[in-house]
Amino acid sequence: MISKLRGYEWASAEAFKRAKQERRSPIEIAQEIASELSSQDWVERAEVVNGYVNVKLSVEGYKRWLKERPGKKDKKVAIEYVSVNPNKPWHIGHLRNALIGQVLGNVYDYHGYDVVRLDYIDDLGLQVAQSYWHYLKYGLKEHPRMDWAVGLAYVEAAQLFEEYEKEIREILKEMEEKGIAREFVEKVLEHQLITAANYGIKHHMRVFESDIARLFDRTIALLKEKGFIVYQEEGELKGTWTTKDGKVVIRSDGTATYLGKDIVFQLWKMGWVKGIRFVKRKDPTGEVWYSWKEGEEKEINADIVVNVIGMEQSLPQSQIAKLVKEIYPEKEYIHVAYQRVRLKDKAFSGRKGTWVGYSADELLEEGIKRIKSKELALAAIKFFILKYNPSKEVIFDWNKALSTEGDSGIYIMYSYVRARSVWRKSGMGGEPELREIDDVDRELGKWLVAAKEYWEKALSYHDPSALADYALELASAFNSYYSKVRILGNENKLFFTYWTMKRLEETLNLLGIDVVEEM
């Protein structure tokens, strides 16, 4: 019945629609809606302005709406993010993936879903093979961080690839058959995870391709048997097994393609195949379940699979989605496609080494240098990356990334700290009692009750930038409020200040940003 909520304003497009259907004046209908609303106890007054129904919430309305929380959902979400090749340090692009994934996990969590955070470790990829080959041949580069040492070596290895392809493929085969590189990979991973820990990126499980590989034969047999993949009898693809739209899953030599391997992993998440074992380990981010050849068998049985993967992989992702839809029509398979972070004139490339100078850790270091606080530097960086809609390319700029004014994480934090400081000085223990509301309160109040709308948007669009938008709107409304009214000594004003503090803290937490007490 009511369309756009902006706290105390409902734009009543509804009136226009009904006016057309019922052949009546929209103003008349808007007036009907207004008087209907006026009788509700959460409404103080509703009136028609320019054909819109403006609603002023009552004291009762504010009290009730501000406390509203989503209920528990009976759905399990498996969200995969980061999944960086274990042969280089994280650069700012990987960080974008990590932050989007972390925040979407938080958002699902907030909305009552059962969330499992997954990290996929491709320890059998060609990139790792190149790095491992280089390591065997030339030893390790001098660097305190293994991810850096290997990342720098990889740039050289990539240049030598054509010349030594045969040798490298031999190594890859040995990796697959004997697992010779697992230890090397885990060492790199451990150091990559120092970055994850710095940024507060968490997972429940890390799944290695070498462990998923144990499920290949069984899964593929099942896919064949049930007719989800088809055998090509003739033509260019003769002897291969493909998806129904002709993408090769099993090569004519019987090995799995990248797509084939990914399908196995995705189906495992949904419980179509089972049998991966895990051991609990302590890594730089905390306690995490690592897949391993022995240990406790675990399954997820996800109802919703969310994968944070670059936009350039849209095509294979849509093919997997199609296959999953056939097997599980009731489940959701979501590809959160994000655009790259790049420099004005070039992209970050692991192979070309253009990430040097733009690693996630260097960004944090520079942030701490400029802002003089790790917490605030993290707030600035995270906010900068998350405020862009994932479908937009981010052109990296040091000054913007580490900005302390305007549309920035520091601005939000400052507003929070300001509200908190006033609150502390008031000496109020709990929630202040609201008795009356004036127009200045409503300017702020409308943003307080609008949180739900923005957070739901973040959920349904898989878009953390909705949270950043909300935080900015609320912070800005509060700063304006602060400059207009004297809060201390006025319990009604303290009510709005209290809720601003709460909302900003909640929003920052959803964004994966820890609040500070003062600044």
Strand partners, 279: 290
Task: Measure the CA angle with vertex 22, ends 17 and 27; round to 5°.
Answer: 60
Q: Could you tell me where the beta strands, DSSP code E, fall in 122-213? A: 205-208
Stretch that binds RNA, among 283-291, 294-302, 397-405, 431-439 (CB under 7 A): 397-405
| Minimal distance, residue 250 CB to RNA, in Å | 8
**Subset of 321-350 contacting RNA (CB under 7 A):** 337, 339-340, 347
223 binds RNA (CB under 7 A): no
Residue (129 or 300) nearer to RNA, CB:
129
What three-state secondary structure class fits 158?
Answer: helix
User: Whole-angstrom Cα distance, residue 30 to residue 26?
Assistant: 6
**Subset of 53-82 contacting RNA (CB under 7 A):** 54
Residues shown for the chain: 519
Of the candidates 121, 220, 422, 511, which one interacts with RNA according to CB under 7 A? Answer: 422
Of the candidates 405, 427, 429, 439, which one interacts with RNA according to CB under 7 A? Answer: 405
Stretch that binds RNA, among 277-285, 297-305, 410-418, 501-509 (CB under 7 A): 410-418
In 3D, which of 49, 70, 73, 30 has the Cα closest to residue 506? 70
Of the candidates 253, 330, 345, 436, which one interacts with RNA according to CB under 7 A? Answer: 253
162 binds RNA (CB under 7 A): no
| Minimal distance, residue 281 CB to RNA, in Å | 25
Stretch that binds RNA, among 88-96, 324-332, 432-440, 455-463 (CB under 7 A): 455-463
Stretch that binds RNA, among 38-46, 188-196, 251-259, 301-309 (CB under 7 A): 251-259
Residue (300 or 341) nearer to RNA, CB:
341
- Torsion over CA: 507, 512, 518, 519 (sign): negative
**Neighbouring C-beta atoms of residue 144, cutoff 10 Å:** 7
**Neighbouring C-beta atoms of residue 492, cutoff 10 Å:** 18
| Minimal distance, residue 291 CB to RNA, in Å | 18
Scanning the structure block, which residue is given the tokens 């090749």?
85
Of the candidates 259, 300, 449, 474, which one interacts with RNA according to CB under 7 A? Answer: 259
**Subset of 117-136 contacting RNA (CB under 7 A):** 122, 124-127
Stretch that binds RNA, among 74-82, 109-117, 131-139, 238-246 (CB under 7 A): 238-246
410 binds RNA (CB under 7 A): yes
Residue 316 CA from chain centroid, whole number: 20
Task: Measure the CA angle with vertex 127, ends 212 and 86; round to 5°.
Answer: 65
User: Whole-angstrom Cα distance, residue 482 to residue 473?
Assistant: 14
Residue (197 or 395) nearer to RNA, CB:
395
- Contact (CB, 8 A) for 111 and 70: yes
Number of separate helices (H) and strands (E) present in the chain: 19, 17
Task: Measure the CA angle with vertex 314, ends 253 and 237; round to 5°.
Answer: 25
Quick one: tokens of 71? 């209920």
| Minimal distance, residue 50 CB to RNA, in Å | 4
In 3D, which of 40, 41, 44 has the Cα closest to residue 54? 44
Stretch that binds RNA, among 144-152, 200-208, 294-302, 412-420 (CB under 7 A): 412-420
Of the candidates 41, 140, 391, 433, which one interacts with RNA according to CB under 7 A? Answer: 391
**Subset of 458-487 contacting RNA (CB under 7 A):** 460-461, 465-466, 469, 472, 476, 479-480, 482-483, 485-487
